[in-house]
Chains A and B, each alone.
Chain A
């Protein structure tokens, strides 16, 4: 085995090792911990790029843990989708950490350890090919996220954290019920093997496997914050510290990824008891999520809460693309995924700088003191708002355009067009109102906080630069997204790669 054969396990092992090393380094100075954490996080980027390049030709990179053949051993599977998600995660994590080392990481203990373990859980969830293993990685990323969410403490943060923990523990229980039922009905937990056995499951088991699959959908919908299970998100994301919220921008996408991965396999083989299972549910729920997210952002009392609602909007838009199901719509969704993650993460980071600059008023939408360096902050806010709202010239507009173009050919065109366009319009109005209130309706000069440092604004600019890069490279990136979509529409290749893998 050469080094390259071990490529799929490295993005999982590296953050785990880094987390353990950072735990051992906790007696040393902040500088050492920051350096170690930054090196480990930045090293994920070349790994993700290497994996992306290795899977670009359509290979399914199957890594058999302990060299046991699937379906008996656990496998990691890197395909185009997994590599895509790893790439987005690595980019967001790098910028979130660059922001955190400005001081947020010192507000509580073990920030860097938890940050690395969160990345360990995220990368593992994207790479695993086993349903129970997915549960375990979910738990790892959740346990780390509980610690990160509470980082820094404070009354509102603890309250939001309690709700977040309890609802996710109930979600984990449901996940286990679903996994148990699927194992009881099919005798396997390997996702590729499950797909084959579910398609051939006897008629007497139909109700059983359908209920298990729908239970699983509830769990993923909870992680993705789909209506009616999104109510935990605005409080949790709005109250936590900025770099954590920016990293959490990818966490809802884990739910979306799981829906995409699991149901493309379970329902992709055509006939069988699960064929078309989600068709009646996903599109209406996604449209309602989008609409309620936009309304929530209009009703928000602070910028961070508003940003959290824009995370809900992005999930709704992504799931609309998933629900339409055509390769074109899926490609649009996969192009929208990195854009929305970068844009909302940038807004979370910027909201923190604005809140600090406003002193005691924080991010609340009330006329406040004139901001120091208002031109810089306002200019960045304008650019980020353009990205979040999906206006031209940035990539959000292209993604929505691709999505609507794909939707026109489907029978649901009118509903999708109406909700996405109206939602976009309200989003623009909401952000314009927030911007004018924060930057123009300023009264007093006293009461302003410290002016934001250039290092605090650099990660925001970096994330913005990524969306600009997505726009400039729209051709190749949307082609790559199209390749991912076509690979997802051929689950037989995934199944053959996993079950046929031999040493």
Chain B
């Protein structure tokens, strides 16, 4: 499971970085979303992986998982969700103001097919 999780975080981060470097705003927003998914998984894994054990005190529990990263992830999800909503609206506003969806506001011939 460790390898699978590490791989998932790695792939999400790589996809996020690649998309965030694209010239148009929509892929950039998607890239930021992927990056926030990756970091949420990463934060979760920092409390160590434990299967089938509760984070809060219970009489029947055989062991516990660290509850703090779950709280951190919850905070991070809320913040990144709000930020994504904001950046989408901003990207739409930029599209309206600048006349195209290029991050520099300029239409380049070379990235017509990018």
Contacts and interface: CB of A to CB of B under 8 A. Distances in A.
**A and B found bound together:** yes
| Chain B, interface residues (CB within 8 Å), range | 20 to 34
Nearest to A163: B103
A161 B105 CA distance: 12
Interface string A162-202: 11011001101100110111011000010000000000000
Nearest to B35: A173
Interface string A227-241: 000000000000000
A162 B103 contact: yes
Given A155-B98, A166-B28, A173-B36, A183 B86 contact: no
B75 A173 contact: no
A183 B39 contact: no
Interface string B62-97: 000000110010011001101100110011011001
Contacts of A173: 32, 35-36, 38-39
A139 interface: yes
B26 interface: no
Interface in A126-148: 132, 136, 139, 143, 146
Contact of B42 (A163, A172, A180): A180
A143 B82 contact: yes
B83 A169 contact: yes
A181 B94 contact: no
Contacts of A158: 90, 93-94, 97-98
A162 B35 CA distance: 18
SS of B interface (majority): helix
Contacts of B45: 184
SS of A interface (majority): helix
Interface in A248-286: none
Interface residues of A, number: 28
Contacts of A166: 20, 28, 32, 87, 103
A289 B100 CA distance: 33
B68 A172 contact: no
B87 A177 contact: no
Nearest to A175: B39
Nearest to A184: B46
A319 B69 CA distance: 33
B68 A143 contact: no
A19 to B, nearest CB: 16
A146 B86 contact: yes
A180 B82 CA distance: 20
A176 B76 contact: yes
Contact of A169 (B38, B68, B87): B87
Contact of A183 (B36, B68, B91, B103): B68
Given A170-B20, A173-B35, A150 B90 contact: yes
A165 B87 contact: yes
Nearest to A142: B83
Given A155-B97, A183-B69, A169 B46 contact: no
Interface string A300-338: 000000000000000000000000000000000000000
A136 B79 contact: yes
Given A136-B79, A162-B91, A180-B42, A143 B86 contact: yes
A177 B28 contact: no
B20 A172 contact: no
B72 A132 contact: yes
A159 interface: yes
Contacts of B76: 176
A132 B39 CA distance: 14
A173 B20 CA distance: 12
A136 B75 contact: yes
Contacts of A154: 97
A170 B35 contact: yes
B14 interface: no
Interface in B6-57: 20, 25, 28, 32, 35-36, 38-39, 42-43, 45-48
A147 B72 CA distance: 25
B46 A183 contact: yes
A170 B84 CA distance: 12
Contacts of B98: 155, 158-159
A161 B90 CA distance: 8
B97 to A, nearest CB: 5
A172 B86 CA distance: 15
A170 B46 contact: no
Task: Give the most central of A139, A143, A161: most B CB within 10 Å.
Answer: A139
A171 to B, nearest CB: 11
Contacts of A139: 79, 83
A176 B39 CA distance: 7
Given A165-B86, A173-B38, A180-B46, 13 more contacts: A146-B90, A158-B93, A158-B94, A159-B105, A162-B25, A162-B91, A166-B28, A172-B79, A173-B39, A179-B43, A180-B39, A183-B68, A184-B45
25 contacts: A139-B79, A139-B83, A154-B97, A155-B97, A158-B98, A159-B94, A159-B97, A159-B98, A159-B105, A161-B90, A162-B25, A162-B94, A162-B103, A166-B32, A172-B80, A172-B83, A176-B43, A176-B76, A180-B39, A180-B42, A183-B43, A183-B68, A184-B45, A184-B46, A184-B48
